[in-house]
Structure formats: C-alpha cells, structure tokens
Amino acid sequence: MARPKGATALRPLRGRDPLGLRRALAGWLLPALVGAMALLAALAIAGAAGAGRLAERWEQAAAGQVIVQVPPAQAEAALARLRALPGVAEATVVAEDRLRALLAPWLGEVPGLPLPVMIELRLVERAEEAALREAAAAIPGAQVERRGEAVTQALRVAEGVRGLAFVLLGIIAAVAVALVAVATRAGLAARRETIEILHELGARDADIAGRFAARLALLCAAGALGGLAVALPALWLLAEAAIPVALSRPAAASDLPWAALALLPPAAAGIGWLTARLAVGAWLRRLP
Amino acid sequence: MVRFSGVGLCYPEGGGAWALQGLDFLLPEGSFTWLLGPSGAGKTSVLGLMHLRLRPSIGRIEVLGHDPAGLPRAQLPALRRRIGVVFQDYRLLPHLSAFENVALPLRIQGVTEARLRADVTEMLRWVGLAERAEAAPAALSGGEQQRLALARAVIARPALLVADEPTGNLDATQARRVLSLLRELHRLGTTVVVATHSEALPEEYPAPALRLEGGRLLRHG
Ligand SMILES: Nc1ncnc2c1ncn2[C@@H]1O[C@H](COP(=O)(O)OP(=O)(O)O)[C@@H](O)[C@H]1O
Ligand SMILES: [Mg+2]
C-alpha cells in the first residue's frame, strides 16, 4: 500500500482545511485568469483616469480663450478693434516663435513659411463668449478659430473613452464572476461527498460555504495582485510616453490612479467571496 | 429518546414503492436497541430518519425531543451535532489523516485546538488507534477504519448514537471489540441503536430489538 506516501501527503492538511480545498481548488489557472482580468481592469481604469485628466485640462485651457487669425497686413487695425470689444480683458499677438513651436508637430521646421498672425483674447469673467465670437468675426479679414467646438468634440471623445472603460470594467467583473462560479462548481464536484459528510456531522451551511468563499477570495486576490504587478510597470511606461505629449510635462508617480488600482485586489477578493458563497449556499440548500 | 409515529418512507427514486411503512416505536433515553432484519429490510432507512439524513414521507418522528420537520433549517445543525453516526460504509474523509477525521466533529463545533488535541488523542487510544493517528484512512485495515468511524461518531459525546452494520466487514475478534466499545458507550448513558443483519451478534449482548422486514416492524421487544 502507498501508506508512507499517503501519510506524509496528509500532514500539510492538518488543521484548518477539513474540506481539502487547498487541493480541490488548487492550481494556477484561476489566479492566472483573474490576474489577466485584473490587468485588463487596470488598463481600463488607467484609460478612464487618463481620459478624465485630459478632458479636464482641455476644459481649463479652453475656458475664456478665443483665438482670432488675421492677415499680417491688417494685424494692427484688427488688434485695436478687438481690444475695443466688450468682454475682452486682454488681446495679445501670439509670438512668432511660440506659433512656430505650436505648429512644428504638424508643419515641421519650415523657416520661410509665412505665418498668419494669431491674436489671443482673454475674456473677462462671465463674458458672452458666443456674442464676442460673432463681433470678432465681423472685423474684416478676421477668422475666429473654432477652437471651442474642437474642444467640445475632444471632450466628447474623452467622455466616450471613459464610458467605454466603465463598460469594460463591467464585462471584466462579469467574466470574473463566471470564472469563480466555474471554479466553485469544480471544487463542489471534487468535494461533494466531503461536503455531504460535513453537513451530516452538523456543519452549518454558512461554515461550509464560508470555507469555499475564503479559499476563492484568497485565490482571486492573489491573481489580482499578480495582474497588478504586471500592469503597474506597463502603465508607468505608458504614462511616461503619453503624459509629456498630452500635458506637456514629465510623468509623475501621482499620474497613476493609485486609489482605483489599489481597489482591484479587494474587489477581486470580494467577487470571489460573494460568488462562491452564493453558489455553494445554493448547492447546500438542496441537502436535507 | 427517539419516537416514530406512523412513519412511512417512499424514496423519490423508488418508483412509488414504500421503503418503510407504519413504523411506531419509542426508544427511551439511555436505551440500547438492536435494529434487526435481512438486507433490504429498511434498517439503513430507519437510521437515516433518526440522524436526519432522510425525512419521513408520512408520519412524525421525534429525535432528542425535537421534531425535525418542525425545526427551522438553521437549527438542524445543532441537533445533528448531538447525534453520532457510524455509517455502513464509514464515510471517512480520504484526504484527512485518522486524527483529523476524528477531530472533524470538534472542529465543526469550534472546539479550541488545545482541548481538541487532548480529546482526539484520548479517543484514538480508546479505539486502539493511537499509533495510527497520522495514517490516511485508505492505509488502515477494515477493522481499523470501522473503529475510526466509531471514534468520530462518539468524539463529541453525542446523546444518540446510531451505528449501521458496525461489525459488517469485520472478523469475530474485531467485531467483539467494536461491540464492547458500543456497550461501554451505552453504559456511560448514550442512547444507542445498532443495525445488523447478523443473528449472532445480538446474542453477544442481549437487549431490546426492533425487527424489520420489508419495511415493516415485525415485533417490538
Ligand atoms: N436511495 C435509495 N433510493 C431508492 N430506494 C432505496 C434507496 N435506499 C434504499 N432504498 C430501498 O429501500 C429499501 C430499504 O433499504 P435499506 O434501508 O438500505 O435496507 P437495509 O439497510 O436493511 O439493507 C430497499 O428496498 C431499498 O431498495
Ligand atoms: Mg443497510
């Protein structure tokens, strides 16, 4: 008989695991899959946070700013008329080197290229931006940049990205629930007789289901931590690449949505606990 | 105390046939009762009703002062913990050591580790398995498994012990040993019900008997 082997194999199970769940619910499949879900969730969270940050910045930048483009010949006259408009706090010509720097990404360095004159208006607070735009457009040769609309559209895109991220999070949570349910069912199948015996010995449903729930919460939390460990360096690289472009400053540690990311392992544990608790609870209710 | 009043049992998978019919009896507290009858007579079914694994299809049962049908589900575990069961097929947990199998009812009750250790060790000694505490059930002989099952059934000092063919797979020496353990429990005040198809075993320990045949009670006494 395989007695010595059997006897030694039993020792680690002494004590706290009467259902043998460490073996029935073992393996790396569930934690690995939950880890993959956590990775996707981290990306979605970072995407939502990034889109939110960008939208905020655009909104700030756009508030109370209007840019009017005029032919160089009429710059002086236009500037004077713009300054006279009600609601204008300040009207300044955008310096040529700044203009070139702003346009460089699109036009490249083209030294001889004639540039229009851009006049930047800062409005007094509570100014009627729409009325002002109309007045500015009436000045001969002036073209009012439709920056407001561009920002509105960009904001709409950012909102879309955020909404998509939340939908993704919902899908990820649903997949995680399904994964835990499948794993729980496998554990139930593997320990069916054990559970029935414990039930007949007077174990409460809550105790049995609680042991499953604790085990699955642990596996899910471990998986989520693993997924997060992979996600964080990736998110940092992404932030380092994207933030200088989007916000024109270097990336900082505070750019990652730490609070939301830190919620992932507890959220995974919670999903594992609740799903297993309900699944096992429902199964136990069929016993006499 | 166990009381059956007009109890009938019909298994859902049994195609409408009555496995038990018209059972009326009372087993007083602290009694020892043989449950006799040939294979298929309904002994396991009667014990199943007594330890709440089965519910009567008709009639009423009372176990340790409670009608299980009248108890809310949340209170059944507490009643079950006062009933010790030696299953015909032992029902030991294969992934747990002998020690852990015996410790199980105490763990279910939340007994502290220190008290549990002493109790289980003492119980293993009582059934002569002190040396085999760390063995897997599969590594034990039939007689040893039987005694292990008995140890698990009585570790929590149940008020009612039901044993289903507890000597069924044992040789005469082993059977006598298990029987003497059951007698000792009875002597200590436990209500004991032992089902057996053997005609010889009851002669070793004369006691009141319920005789079943075809799911009906032949005689009481
Ligand atoms: N789970 C079951 N489903 C259907 N019929 C059963 C079941 N268990 C027992 N029976 C039937 O009930 C009767 C009594 O069986 P049982 O109580 O096991 O008798 P014994 O223990 O005396 O051998 C038999 O006719 C048997 O076929
Ligand atoms: Mg039987």
Q: Which ligand is nearest to the CA of B212?
A: 1
Q: Report whether pLDDT(B220) > 60.
A: no
The residue whose CA has the least distance to atom 16 of ligand 1 is B42
For residue B141, give the nearest of B150, B129, B158 by alpha carbon. B129
Residues of B whose CB is below 8 A from A202: 77-81, 83, 105, 108-109
Is the beta carbon of B145 within 6 A of some atom in ligand 1? no
Residues of A whose CB is below 8 A from B129: none
pLDDT of B204 reads 87
Q: Distance, in angstroms, between A205 CA and closest chain B CA?
A: 8
For residues A268-287, average pLDDT: 92
pLDDT one-digit tens code per residue, B50-82: 999 999 999 999 999 999 999 999 999 999 999
Half-sphere exposure of A236 (CA within 13 A, CB side): 9
pLDDT of B21 reads 94
A13: nearest CB among B78, B96, B108: B96
Residues of A whose CB is below 8 A from B80: 200-202
Q: Report whether pLDDT(A197) > 60.
A: yes
- Higher-confidence residue of A255 and A178: namely A178
Split at pLDDT 50, 70, 90, the class of A93 is confident
For residues A169-190, average pLDDT: 90
Is the beta carbon of B173 within 6 A of some atom in ligand 1? no
pLDDT one-digit tens code per residue, B187-212: 999 999 999 998 888 998 899 999 99
Is the beta carbon of B12 within 6 A of some atom in ligand 1? no
- Regarding an ipTM greater than 0.85, the answer is yes
A54-68, A154-168, A238-252: range with lowest mean pLDDT = A54-68
Is the beta carbon of B101 within 6 A of some atom in ligand 1? no
Q: For residues B4 and B49, is the Cβ–Cβ distance under 8 A? A: yes
Split at pLDDT 50, 70, 90, the class of A127 is low
If one residue of B21, B23, B39, B45 were mutated to test the ligand 1 pocket, choosing by the most ligand atoms within 8 A of its CB, it would be B45
For residues B102-122, average pLDDT: 90
DSSP chain B: -EEEEEEEE--GGGTT--SEEEEEEEE-TT-EEEEE--TTSSHHHHHHHHTTSS--SEEEEEETTB-GGGS-GGGHHHHHTTEEEEBTTB---TTS-HHHHHHHHHHHHT--HHHHHHHHHHHHHHTT-GGGTTS-GGGS-HHHHHHHHHHHHHTT--SEEEEESTTTT--HHHHHHHHHHHHHHHHTT-EEEEEES-SSHHHHS---EEEEETTEEEEE-
pLDDT of A2 reads 35
The residue whose CA has the least distance to atom 2 of ligand 1 is B11
Task: Pick from A201, A205, A211, A284 the residue to mutate for testing the B interface (most B CBs within 10 Å).
Answer: A201
For residue A116, give the nearest of A140, A141, A135, A138 by alpha carbon. A141
A1-5, A56-60, A68-72: range with lowest mean pLDDT = A1-5
Q: Report whether pLDDT(A64) > 70.
A: no
The nearest alpha carbon in chain B to A3 belongs to B139
Split at pLDDT 50, 70, 90, the class of B131 is very high
Split at pLDDT 50, 70, 90, the class of A4 is very low
In sequence order, which residues have a C-beta less than 8 Å from that of residue A49 and are 6 or more positions away? A256, A257, A260
pLDDT of A270 reads 95
Judge if pTM exceeds 0.90.
no
Cβ–Cβ gap A13/B85 under 8 Å: no
Is the beta carbon of B13 within 6 A of some atom in ligand 1? yes
Q: If you average pLDDT over every residue of chain B, what do you get?
A: 92
pLDDT of A9 reads 35
Residues of A whose CB is below 8 A from B158: none
Q: How far is the CA of A287 from the centre of ligand 1 (A)?
A: 18
pLDDT of A106 reads 63
Split at pLDDT 50, 70, 90, the class of A11 is very low
Q: In what order do the strands lie in the sheet with B216-220?
A: B83-86, B160-164, B191-196, B32-36, B209-213, B216-220
A145-154, B26-35, B131-140, B145-154: range with lowest mean pLDDT = A145-154
pLDDT one-digit tens code per residue, B140-180: 998 899 999 999 999 999 999 999 999 887 888 888 888 99
Q: Report whether pLDDT(B86) > 90.
A: yes
Q: How far is the CA of A277 from the centre of ligand 2 (A)?
A: 35
Q: Report whether pLDDT(A253) > 90.
A: no
User: Which atom of ligand 1 approaches the CA of B39 most closely?
Assistant: 23
Q: Report whether pLDDT(A47) > 80.
A: yes
Q: Which ligand is nearest to the CA of B37?
A: 1
pLDDT of A148 reads 61
For residue A72, give the nearest of A14, A114, A124 by alpha carbon. A114
Q: Report whether pLDDT(A21) > 80.
A: no
Q: How far is the CA of A218 from the centre of ligand 2 (A)?
A: 41
A47-51, A97-101, A189-193, B119-123: range with lowest mean pLDDT = A97-101
Residue where the block lists tokens 């297993």: A276
The residue whose CA has the least distance to atom 14 of ligand 1 is B42
Is the beta carbon of B39 within 6 A of some atom in ligand 1? yes
Q: Distance, in angstroms, between A20 CA and closest chain B CA?
A: 7
Residue where the block lists tokens 């038990």: B20
Q: How far is the CA of B45 from the centre of ligand 1 (A)?
A: 6
Total residue count of chain A as it appears in this document: 288
Split at pLDDT 50, 70, 90, the class of A14 is very low
